[in-house]
Structure 1
């Protein structure tokens, strides 16, 4: 349960309250490309990423995959919908071998009713995610592909980056197709845009992740 104590929604709980969390928490392991849940399925649980990587995405009317987020250790999902039984809003799929802590919605809601402070913290998380979604939508409407890709890189660096020398390393195995899905364009366009960035020595990549060499350029992304 030491892992769960890092989450904001549990930070105010005492030892006795945490013992109740322990009674309803379940560990599950997923292999790469295995679905955690699919869009439209009945919402049954809240998931906490202990290790590995989970991708959440939606499929548009043309059958294209639109990546919503990449979740790794310390992330919780879904971020909204604890108080109703609406279906899962997106599909969640393990990208690599992943271990999740799972808490059923019914059990979780019972705790929220029992401990009002948990309800307030969950609402704060929901508000932050809604603002993040609004920001992404605005970016899609008004910005070109290069700006959207830079914004996506900055978001990944903020959430998953590790300081390395004078740069920052995004320690995620993410493909050009994943980037294309995230920013709403083709893989060919992403290939060209990334190659231009590499020629300018703004970044480089290997099989494990992406190295950002120019943080000032990245931080300048609005």
Structure 2
């Protein structure tokens, strides 16, 4: 997967909250193919990415990997269980490229936030938005199956990496069908078949660089009953 440098971001936090995280955190190096954290393990820290790329995923009951997010500089990861007793990571974080993170102890963060109601509210709102993303991903997969998972993934990519021209949206991201399959908890072959169906209906096209252009995003939204949620979801 090649992440473009001009990626839109819906994860930006205020300078005040970022400065707080930086002031109480500790720098750590991360290395490709390592896990920053694994689901089910005790969650004592959250992380602010300074460089590198990580992937957030979960294993399904069938043993397949369901990929949720690809995170980069300035993204926060591991923060879905703050303020909870005996917190455990709900997801896993695999390091895709070498980089650096700021590790923030949750008990220290909670102590600092309790003394600043404005930043506490911002953090809770941020965490709530990510929980909604987590839930909506499962909803798409459970209610609409593999097709729903693929269609919603294309919609999300169009929001994060889309370049809109003449009512079409170029997803400015190079991603393989296997990687798309990881986002949908399905096989590369199933993704091939579903993409071919969309091409035959002129809903999408794929150029020589393997970048997808969406010609009819309304078709994708209507097929899965998209609720037109806020772009951050």
1:67-110 Cα deviation digits (max 9, x unpaired): 23222233211232121341211110012233323222232122
Q: Is the 8 A contact 1:161 1:168 kept in 2?
A: no
Q: Is the 8 A contact 2:22 2:102 kept in 1?
A: no
Per the TM alignment, residue 112 of structure 1 is displaced from its structure 2 partner at its CA by 1.0
For residues 21 and 67 of structure 1, do their structure 2 counterparts lie closer, same or farther at Cα, with a shift above 3 Å needed?
A: closer
Query: Distance in 2 between the 1:189 and 1:136 partners?
Result: 18
Q: Is the 8 A contact 1:157 1:168 kept in 2?
A: yes
Query: Distance in 1 between the 2:191 and 2:218 partners?
Result: 18
Q: Is the 8 A contact 1:150 1:218 kept in 2?
A: no
Query: Distance in 1 between the 2:197 and 2:93 partners?
Result: 32
Q: CA RMSD in A?
A: 3.0
Q: Is the 8 A contact 2:57 2:67 kept in 1?
A: yes
Q: Is the 8 A contact 2:56 2:68 kept in 1?
A: yes
Q: Match of 1:81? A: 81
Q: Is the 8 A contact 1:79 1:125 kept in 2?
A: no
- Secondary structure at the aligned position of 1:52 is classed as strand
Q: Match of 2:57? A: 57
Ranges in structure 1 where 5+ consecutive residues have no aligned partner: 1-5
Q: Match of 1:212? A: 213
Query: Under a length normalisation based on structure 1, what TM-score does the superposition of the two structures give?
Result: 0.77
Query: Under a length normalisation based on structure 2, what TM-score does the superposition of the two structures give?
Result: 0.74
Query: Distance in 1 between the 2:48 and 2:158 partners?
Result: 21
Q: Is the 8 A contact 1:12 1:117 kept in 2?
A: no
For residues 31 and 196 of structure 1, do their structure 2 counterparts lie closer, same or farther at Cα, with a shift above 3 Å needed?
A: farther
Pick aligned residue for 2:204 from 202, 205, 211 = 202
For residues 35 and 116 of structure 1, do their structure 2 counterparts lie closer, same or farther at Cα, with a shift above 3 Å needed?
A: same
Per the TM alignment, residue 154 of structure 1 is displaced from its structure 2 partner at its CA by 1.0
Q: Match of 1:187? A: 188
Q: Match of 2:47? A: 47
Query: Distance in 1 between the 2:69 and 2:172 partners?
Result: 15
Greater CA drift, 27-36 or 109-118 = 27-36
Query: Distance in 2 between the 1:27 and 1:127 partners?
Result: 26
Matched residue pairs, number? 210
Query: Distance in 2 between the 1:57 and 1:216 partners?
Result: 26
For residues 58 and 72 of structure 1, do their structure 2 counterparts lie closer, same or farther at Cα, with a shift above 3 Å needed?
A: same
The within-5 A match list for 1:6-45 is 7-8=12-13, 10-12=14-16, 18=19, 21-45=21-45
Q: Match of 2:109? A: 108
- Secondary structure at the aligned position of 2:141 is classed as helix
Q: Match of 1:3? A: none
Q: Is the 8 A contact 2:140 2:149 kept in 1?
A: yes
Greater CA drift, 195-204 or 81-90 = 195-204
